[in-house]
Chains A and B, each alone.
Chain A
Amino acid sequence: MELLITLFVFVLYFGGFYLMMRRHVFEVLLGTLLLTHATSMLLIAMGGWKPEERPPILVPSAELPLSAYADPVPQALILTAIVIGFGVTAYLVVLIMRGNEEMNDMEMTERPREEDEA
């Protein structure tokens, strides 16, 4: 599993980084989505993986050892991260829309209006 998750992390990060460096702002947006996915994959991997683990939902009846459950910490972190990512993305999407409305330019390479350089 370690190798597989690493592979997945690699794929997602590659796609994310590449799209972030594209011209079109919307591709950059997709890139950020990918990077969020990749990072939550990285985080979930941090909990480690064992074949016999169960979800971290305690079973009071059966007295299981703590090692029988998966590590809840990364899961909590990821939940927070997902929510934050969701908020940021929602704002970013609208920001892009407005940016396009205002300068009708999806590449954002145009200089600001006033000439700044001496």
Chain B
Amino acid sequence: MLPFLLLLPFFGAALLMLLPRERLSPLIPAQATVMVTLGCLALLGVATFLPPSLELQEITGERFHHFHADWMPSIGLTFSLWLDGPALFFCWMVLGIGLLIFVYAGFYMDPADSPWRFFGTMMLFMGSMLGVVMSRNALLMFVFWELTSLTSFILIGHWHHKESARKGAMRALVVTGLGGLCLMAGIAGYFWILSTASAPGYVFDPSTALNWDSLWANRELLLNHPASVACLMLVLLGAFTKSAQFPFHFWLPGAMEAPTPVSAFLHAATMVKAGIYLLGRLYPIYWSWELWLILVGSAGVITMLVGGFMAMTSRDLKQLLAHSTVSQLGLLTAYYGFGFDRAGGDKPLPMDLLLVLSHAMFKGALFMIVGVIDHGAHTREWTRLGGLRKYMPVTTVLTIVACASMAGFPLTFGFVAKELFLKTALSLHASSPLLAYGLPAVAIIASLFTVAYSLRMAVSPFFGKPRDPSIHEHDIYSIEERGDAEDDAHDGSDGAASHAHAAGVHEGGPGLLIPPGILVLACLVAGFWSPFLGDLLSPLVNAPFYGTESGFTVAFFHHADKLLWTAVFLFGVGVLVFLAGKRIMESYERAGSPAIFRHAYEAIFDRAIPSLAAWTARTSQTPSLRRSIAVFFAAAFGIVVAAMGYSGFGLPGAIAIPAGLWMATLPIALTLPCLWVAATHRVLLVRVLAMAPIGFFVAMFFVFFRAPDLALTQILVEVVILIVLLMVLFRLPQRFEPRQLRFDPTAGAIALVGALVMAALTYSAMGSPWRHAPTLEGQPSVRDYYLGNAKYPAMTSEEAAAIGYPGASNMRSGGGTNVVNVTLVDFRGIDTFGEIIVLGISAIGVLCLLTVNRRRRSDNWRGGALDDVGHVSDIVNPETHRQLEMPYRAWPSPSLLLSEIGRLAPGFVLIFAAVLFFAGHNAPGGGFIAGLMVSVGLAMVLIAVSWTRSRHLERFDFVRLIGVGLLVALLTVVVPELFGLPFLTSGHWHFHLPLLGGGEFATAAIFDLGVFLLVVGATMLVVQKLGKE
């Protein structure tokens, strides 16, 4: 049943979101909300008056309804609800007052003012508030806690066209969100303490650890842990921010930008009580700590004082109520502070359900009444109002009674509550007199303010002459109202008044008066029949002690003891303060209201953090490519060096250089001047030409290391890259500017460190004994395995079975003597597969760069100097090159000889390539090298022979060739699947040709063919596209 009760409002909200708003009447949301609330009330009634069945009690040993479902037990988050005393009470309060306020809102809100969003969010809030009070698991409560913050954020910003509303909403969200984080940290702290704690007979159960009752049961562990103070403070921060306690009180008045029903419901009756509720849950754990008194008690009374004073000195009635709420919340907080009993006391305090209830009643009523006044008189500033009793008699009566209850006047419910509070305050005994007498004294002074602003609220608007006659020329007034409600941030009235038809000062309709009327009536009734109420509540108020009876009974004022007289006396003094009130206010305003904490907040969140952020962004995020690369290098090398230092990374002893190797120093010696030129010369072309030899020296080293394939590949790649560079070079500025030639010491230093690191790594790795050691037990090293299996199948059938492919042994073979090539197409064929894909992508990328969004360029060799390249100027489809065809520009005219060579070249090239390709598997060569060879040849043709004579090459669609190459490779990869073998498994067959004699054919060769095609396609595509330029 509990889940239904909890989820009903959420379903309602979802419904409101999903219904087709266009076709339905705007009244539906209000009605739906009221319906849902009634449904919840019905469920709650059932839950209240049907106690859980006996057998359930026997199973669980608990006296109330509860529900449990695992969510993330490992981190202590379980979906466990209950309806113990406080939960029951708060549910009734939330739903009851919610019902009245929804009815009221139905009449208050303008149907044109996006009612769907408004009521949907309201219902969402109601649901999350129910969740807060119903959840037995502290972490679950936190989940709903945050939801209430969010919904309140959205509701405060309901009129988001007002800057003040946006500001207020942000402030509320940030403050409560910050508190929420602290609360979360505190709860996490509890979990941590409980999970690491050890005590005789204590077993840690993560799924129940965070339940309120088990927290209480293990309070000894919580109290005696070194981190317990930190946890308490974090959790209290959560409670204080939520309940707008000093010094976080400033967000609540800002929240009054919300429509009046929201203020009445969230920021007076329910949400701000969540912090109080939390204190009520914590109190039984901490009540014997003096720290508790110091933190909670002082926060409470200071809030009382500040709030009361602010309330007394505010002109806007709604602001007055907001500040009074702050001060009343302070009272509720202080109540728990005063509950401290160092002696460990005989019986702790009960929960302050009476105070909460009475405050919710009169404050909810008063907010609604302010809304009525706003509607009726189009302003909320009592300094302009006056003599309203003639126009709105009912409102007057309601206000007076509600204020009497707020002031704690005898015969009202407020008095009962106040009596309870005073009793607690006066019976406080702390270690130091400062606490014992100071705190209650402050509280009593604050209660004088309470009386004062209650009178202000009750008297000023209704009696005497109207202080500002203009409000009777309502039409003009309401027009300018309509005008400035849009933008004017500090306009007292909230835009609802602007929607109100300007009918002059008038009484509110029954829909606006009955809900507050009911609450006011309740204040009186509860005051009269308080003993009965006490009997009703006492089982609930005893409940939070989970078994131990506090034996609290509500004994009331039929016996006139000193408390009654105290109350009356205070009331008298309060009247005096009220009389002085206006003067105090004006002098205070002349002094200029400080609002220190709001300014502090703005200083931190609106100035300090943004500027810090901007600073971080400026320093950490440089637009300059050069600097980012430098920082990148510096950081990386620094970390590596640190790692070497930490791990004592050392180099193996020097290795003797065998004689006859000195020729290997030649390439190194020759590299240095090339590097020098490549790094310093001021002509681009020269630098490129200086780079080329270095590639050849690298190839020489490949030769020293017995890698003929590599040497061949390296040279070919060098040639192709050189061709590409030369083709591009003509489109770049040809010379370096002097300042680009300056030597950069920082860069030099970083590069030096980096190069040293890499060299050291190389050297030590070469000395590592592990490289060619047998791998696992008795298995050959990788190198030996490749060498051993390249030509002949080495895999016996049981080996095949061992790796999960029984009976496949005879399929397995490298089938070639060129181990490198076999590795490329077989052992590590997948690498090659990936590598050709990279090649294909790069070619396609070049195509995109040269075609997409490219404007026809003006003929200047330096390129560039384009006027802004628009977003999508003229995109050219890759397959129709005509559109982008540049007017042919003669290359530096090809000499006859060159062109002759060019025409003859292809033939030779193709033949040589064919040889290389087929040699590949057994001798240096292979698909890649052959492909490069062909490309070089064709590129020569493109360059040497003028375009007019190689149209076919220019037209040829190399993208398709890339596709074909990829397809062939892909097929050879995939086909083995048909035989149930892993991808790229190659077989090989001996065959006999009549003339050529015997030979061998490995399917790997097909894969190599794919490589060949793709390489040609990719390279030629690049050359072709660049050649067009």
A residues with CB within 8 A of B: 1-28, 30, 33-34, 37-38, 40-42, 44-49, 51, 53-60, 66, 69-73, 75-80, 82-84, 86-91, 93-98, 100-112, 117-118
Cα distance A19–B857 in the bound complex, in angstroms: 31
Given the interface pairs A8-B701, A21-B747, the reply to whether A100 lies near B732 with Cβ below 8 Å is yes
Sorted from nearest, which 6 A-B pairs have the closest CB atoms?
A104-B864, A17-B751, A87-B842, A21-B747, A14-B755, A10-B759
Given the interface pairs A79-B928, A83-B928, A87-B1018, the reply to whether A72 lies near B708 with Cβ below 8 Å is no
Option from B724, B767, B864 in Cβ contact (under 8 Å) with A102: B864
In the complex, B823 has a CB within 8 A of chain A: yes
In the complex, B658 has a CB within 8 A of chain A: yes
Cα distance A2–B664 in the bound complex, in angstroms: 11
A109-B695 in contact (CB<8A):
no
Cα distance A17–B709 in the bound complex, in angstroms: 28
A79-B728 in contact (CB<8A):
no
Pick the most buried of A57, A70, A95: most chain B CB atoms within 10 A of its CB: A57
Cα distance A75–B769 in the bound complex, in angstroms: 19
Option from A13, A46, A91 in Cβ contact (under 8 Å) with B758: A13
Pick the most buried of A56, A58, A93: most chain B CB atoms within 10 A of its CB: A56
- How far in angstroms is the closest Cβ of chain A from B384? 41
A21-B633 in contact (CB<8A):
yes
In the complex, B434 has a CB within 8 A of chain A: no
**B243-283 with Cβ < 8 A to chain A:** none
B838-A84 in contact (CB<8A):
yes
Given the interface pairs A18-B751, A82-B714, A86-B720, the reply to whether A4 lies near B657 with Cβ below 8 Å is yes
A53-B667 in contact (CB<8A):
no
Residues of chain B contacted by A37 (CB below 8 angstroms): 694-695, 698
Cα distance A118–B845 in the bound complex, in angstroms: 35
Cβ-closest chain A residue relative to B622: A109
Cα distance A91–B654 in the bound complex, in angstroms: 41
A24-B728 in contact (CB<8A):
no
5 contacts between A and B (CB under 8 A): A46-B762, A58-B817, A72-B790, A84-B835, A100-B863
Cα distance A98–B786 in the bound complex, in angstroms: 44
Cα distance A83–B766 in the bound complex, in angstroms: 24
Residues of chain A contacted by B672 (CB below 8 angstroms): 11
Residues of chain A contacted by B748 (CB below 8 angstroms): 18
In the complex, B772 has a CB within 8 A of chain A: yes
A76-B747 in contact (CB<8A):
no
Cα distance A66–B869 in the bound complex, in angstroms: 61
A33-B758 in contact (CB<8A):
no
A41-B675 in contact (CB<8A):
no
B710-A42 in contact (CB<8A):
no
B786-A8 in contact (CB<8A):
no
A56-B819 in contact (CB<8A):
yes
Residues of chain B contacted by A4 (CB below 8 angstroms): 657, 661, 664-665, 668
Q: A4-B664, A55-B708, A104-B863 are in contact. List 7 more A-B contacts (CB 8 A).
A: A2-B655, A21-B746, A23-B626, A26-B684, A58-B818, A76-B820, A103-B864
A8-B710 in contact (CB<8A):
no
Residues of chain B contacted by A14 (CB below 8 angstroms): 751-752, 754-755
**B688-747 with Cβ < 8 A to chain A:** 688, 691, 694-695, 698, 701-702, 704-710, 713-714, 717, 720-721, 724-725, 728, 731-733, 736, 739-740, 744, 746-747
- How far in angstroms is the closest Cβ of chain A from B31? 45
Cα distance A42–B664 in the bound complex, in angstroms: 16
B820-A72 in contact (CB<8A):
yes
- How far in angstroms is the closest Cβ of chain B from A56? 4
Option from B625, B694, B710, B787 in Cβ contact (under 8 Å) with A109: B625
In the complex, B1026 has a CB within 8 A of chain A: yes
Cα distance A98–B507 in the bound complex, in angstroms: 75
In the complex, B610 has a CB within 8 A of chain A: yes
Given the interface pairs A18-B751, A44-B707, A45-B762, the reply to whether A24 lies near B740 with Cβ below 8 Å is yes
- How far in angstroms is the closest Cβ of chain A from B20? 40
Option from A58, A72, A100, A109 in Cβ contact (under 8 Å) with B731: A100
Residues of chain B contacted by A71 (CB below 8 angstroms): 771-772, 783
B823-A94 in contact (CB<8A):
no
B661-A1 in contact (CB<8A):
yes
A76-B721 in contact (CB<8A):
no
Cα distance A23–B923 in the bound complex, in angstroms: 45
In the complex, B900 has a CB within 8 A of chain A: no
Residues of chain B contacted by A28 (CB below 8 angstroms): 625, 629
Pick the most buried of B618, B688, B756, B786: most chain A CB atoms within 10 A of its CB: B786
Cβ-closest chain A residue relative to B1022: A90
In the complex, B831 has a CB within 8 A of chain A: yes
B766-A48 in contact (CB<8A):
yes
- How far in angstroms is the closest Cβ of chain A from B924? 7
In the complex, B678 has a CB within 8 A of chain A: yes
**B768-821 with Cβ < 8 A to chain A:** 771-772, 782-784, 786-788, 790-791, 817-820
B851-877 CB contact bits vs A (8 Å, 1 = yes)? Answer: 000000100001111100100000000
B657-A17 in contact (CB<8A):
no
Residues of chain A contacted by B784 (CB below 8 angstroms): 66
Residues of chain B contacted by A95 (CB below 8 angstroms): 849
Given the interface pairs A86-B839, A89-B721, the reply to whether A46 lies near B771 with Cβ below 8 Å is yes
In the complex, B623 has a CB within 8 A of chain A: yes
Option from B658, B725, B849 in Cβ contact (under 8 Å) with A51: B658
A100-B864 in contact (CB<8A):
yes
Option from A20, A86, A103 in Cβ contact (under 8 Å) with B721: A86
A55-B744 in contact (CB<8A):
no
- How far in angstroms is the closest Cβ of chain B from A2? 5
Residues of chain B contacted by A110 (CB below 8 angstroms): 623
Residues of chain A contacted by B702 (CB below 8 angstroms): 44
A46-B671 in contact (CB<8A):
no
- How far in angstroms is the closest Cβ of chain B from A70? 4
Option from B657, B739, B786, B866 in Cβ contact (under 8 Å) with A72: B786
Option from B678, B706, B758, B836 in Cβ contact (under 8 Å) with A70: B706
B701-A58 in contact (CB<8A):
no
Option from A10, A21, A76 in Cβ contact (under 8 Å) with B750: A21
- How far in angstroms is the closest Cβ of chain A from B919? 11
Cα distance A59–B657 in the bound complex, in angstroms: 28
Cα distance A16–B758 in the bound complex, in angstroms: 12
Cα distance A89–B898 in the bound complex, in angstroms: 28
Given the interface pairs A72-B783, A109-B626, the reply to whether A2 lies near B767 with Cβ below 8 Å is yes
B758-A97 in contact (CB<8A):
no
